[in-house]
């Protein structure tokens, strides 16, 4: 069966590989077959999570033909914190849904 393995080792970098695996293979089998553990230094200590077509999966999850196995690395910055910092940097006048208003319009409309 053919399976696609996808990983992003760094920001804006994506690595993809197509694997031919026997029926009854798991996510762990795909990871071992791809040899990405050695290539990208992937191990249990990296807090990696896995998904199949954006649905959570474990190393023991059985694969089906044409599955897309995704390896997720931990976030380096909390998205809420990044948005908050961006907002403070831009200022309240230049950010948000109602940042651009027509002349004479009330605030918030």
For 24, phi then psi, to 5°, come to 85, 10
Strand-strand pairing, 49-52 and 13-20: unpaired
pLDDT of residue 22: 93
The list of the chain residues with pLDDT below 50 reads: none
Tell me the H-state helices in 11-71: 27-34, 36-40
Which residue in the block uniquely carries the two structure tokens 């009330």?
106
pLDDT of residue 44: 54
Which residue in the block uniquely carries the two structure tokens 């393995």?
5
Which residue in the block uniquely carries the two structure tokens 């399976």?
3
pLDDT of residue 99: 63
pLDDT of residue 17: 92
Answer whether CATH 3.40.50.720 is correct for domain 2-72.
Answer: no
The reported pTM is: 0.68
Q: Give domain limits for the chain.
A: 2-72
pLDDT of residue 46: 63
pLDDT of residue 94: 57
């Amino acid at each position: 069966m053919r399976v696609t393995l996808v990983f992003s080792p760094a920001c804006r970098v994506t690595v993809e590989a197509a694997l031919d695996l026997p029926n009854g293979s798991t996510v762990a089998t795909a990871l071992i077959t791809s040899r990405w553990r050695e290539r990208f230094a992937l191990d249990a200590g990296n807090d990696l999570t896995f998904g199949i077509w954006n649905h959570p999966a474990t190393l023991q999850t059985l694969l089906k033909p044409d599955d897309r196995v995704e390896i997720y690395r931990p976030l380096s910055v909390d998205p809420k914190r990044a948005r908050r910092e961006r907002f403070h940097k831009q200022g309240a006048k230049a950010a948000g849904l109602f940042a651009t208003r027509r002349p004479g319009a009330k605030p918030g409309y």
